[in-house]
Amino acid sequence: MTVAVPSALLADLLSAPRPAEWEALRLAAEARLAGRELPTPRDKGWQFTDLAPLSHTSFAPAPEATADISADLLPEMVGTRQVFVNGRYAPHASCVSALPPGLRFLPLTLASEACHCLGTLAPETARSPFEDLNTARFEDGALILVPKNLRATLPLHLLFVTRAEHPCAVFPRVLIRLEAGAELSLVEEHMGHGPYLTCPVVEIQVGEGAILRHERVQRDHATAIHLATLRATVAQGGQYHSRTLTFGARLSRQEPSVRLAEGAEATLDGLALLGDGQLADTHSFLHHAAPHGTSHQLHTCVVDGQARAVFNGQIRVAPGAQGTDAQQKSRNLLLSGTARVDTEPQLEIYADDVKCTHGAAVGQLDPDEIFYLQSRGLDLEAARNLLTYGFAADLLERIPVASLRRALRRLVLARTHASALGDLA
């Protein structure tokens, strides 16, 4: 079957051979891509994020590669980690010796359950072309299945490393299903080296009363492009708590969408620490589909240099979703004269007995706070750096994995030039 040419870039990416498995799904995705163009700033949802850099580069399929990840291991998760290098499973870097019995954490290509789960865990909302691209071309990814009432004590570590000499593309795929009453903490990390494009897709199903804590760390290379999609459904009384921490990539976009059933709870926090010419975009969608759901969203951006942060947070309270409690806050700190923030909170409410608030603030450091620190003997620069660190690090405090929390604090300290103040981590 020949595929109609969508756009030069999409055609480029689709020119790679189609992997053998899941052919029907891949063909369907290709069919949807046929004739599609890359979104441009004229398209709804893309007016602040220009994908032009993509169309100037030709991305080849990622070659096989190896990576040394010894410096990136976290002690709590040495025996519960799966590593993927350039989109392929890396058995020598992975280790799952400490997995509790019954918990399945393995590459998709080795998981017989995968075919039942792919594309079925969370119903689709509007699909971005990058999700279809992922479906059409992903090589491998991870499957996580937590059986009923299993409460995993150790967190899982999922590491995607990309090493690119020349521009290349990878499509990580993650499927997560928690059965009723299960509980899990997961750390998903993206890192690498070189001018690559990564389009991860994560599908999540949280069962009745189950709890998933999901830390997502994006520290891709400074020349990389990261375009991620996440879809989650949370069943009655379930909880999904996620924190997306954006440090890397010159251009990145997160598109999480979460659908809440009755009495379900979600946290969708985000931190973007940006400098130089970075652009980080978050377009989130929280759907309160049934009564008595609760959601919290705190999105924090610290923007320096010529960087730019974009936030569009949509919350929809469906007809009949009475008793919904939705809170959203977008906080933004501009550190340079050339930094830019565009924030668009969106509330759509179709039920009357609800508590919904949103707030957005863009500004610089409070002169009173700086003065206070100066009066305590800190010089101006130190005072500024400490406050900047505090603004950003606020979100890190709730990370449940101690070693990750410390590592990220150090990263934020370094990025906010606050390291000189001593090891606050």
Q: Which positions from 308 to 327 touch another protein by CB under 8 A, shown as an x/- string?
A: -----------xx-x-----
The least distance separating another protein from the CB of residue 368, rounded to whole angstroms, comes to 13
Q: What is the DSSP string of 121-162?
A: SS---SPPHHHHHHHHH---EEEEEE-TT-B-SSPEEEEEEE
The least distance separating another protein from the CB of residue 319, rounded to whole angstroms, comes to 7
**Long-range residue pairs from 27-32, CB within 8 A, at least 24 positions apart, any chain:** 27/1, 28/135, 29/132, 29/133, 29/135, 29/136, 30/3, 30/132, 30/136, 32/127, 32/132
The least distance separating another protein from the CB of residue 388, rounded to whole angstroms, comes to 12
Q: Which is nearer to another protein, 125 or 336 (CB)?
A: 336
CB contact set of 256 (below 8 Å; sequence gap of 6+): 229, 230, 231, 232, 242, 244, 268, 282, 284, 285
The least distance separating another protein from the CB of residue 271, rounded to whole angstroms, comes to 18
Residues between 86 and 125 that touch another protein (CB under 8 A): none
Q: Which positions from 345 to 374 touch another protein by CB under 8 A, shown as an x/- string?
A: xxxxxxxxxxxxxxxxxxxx----------
Q: Which is nearer to another protein, 125 or 153 (CB)?
A: 125
Beta pairing class for 196-198 and 168-170: parallel
- Using CB under 8 A as the binding criterion, the count of chain residues that bind another protein stands at 36
**Phi-psi category of residue 91: left, alpha or beta, with phi > 0 → left and psi -120 to 50 → alpha:** alpha
The least distance separating another protein from the CB of residue 345, rounded to whole angstroms, comes to 6
Contact window for another protein (CB under 8 A) among 172-180, 256-264, 331-339, 393-401: 331-339
Q: How far is CA 16 from CA 28, 59, 60, 138, 142, in A?
A: 16, 10, 8, 11, 21
The least distance separating another protein from the CB of residue 291, rounded to whole angstroms, comes to 11
Beta pairing class for 141-146 and 104-107: antiparallel
The least distance separating another protein from the CB of residue 129, rounded to whole angstroms, comes to 21
The least distance separating another protein from the CB of residue 304, rounded to whole angstroms, comes to 9
Residue 276 interacts with another protein (CB under 8 A): yes or no: no
Q: Which is nearer to another protein, 153 or 346 (CB)?
A: 346
Q: How far is CA 244 from CA 237, 247, 284, 362, in A?
A: 23, 10, 11, 20
Q: Which is nearer to another protein, 342 or 394 (CB)?
A: 342
Beta pairing class for 355-363 and 265-274: unpaired
Q: Which positions from 18 to 47 touch another protein by CB under 8 A, shown as an x/- string?
A: --------------------------x---
CA 301, CA 299: separation in Å to the nearest integer?
7
Q: Which is nearer to another protein, 165 or 353 (CB)?
A: 353
Q: What is the DSSP string of 258-270?
A: EEE-TT-EEEEEE
Residues that bind another protein (CB under 8 A): 44, 319-320, 322, 332, 334-364
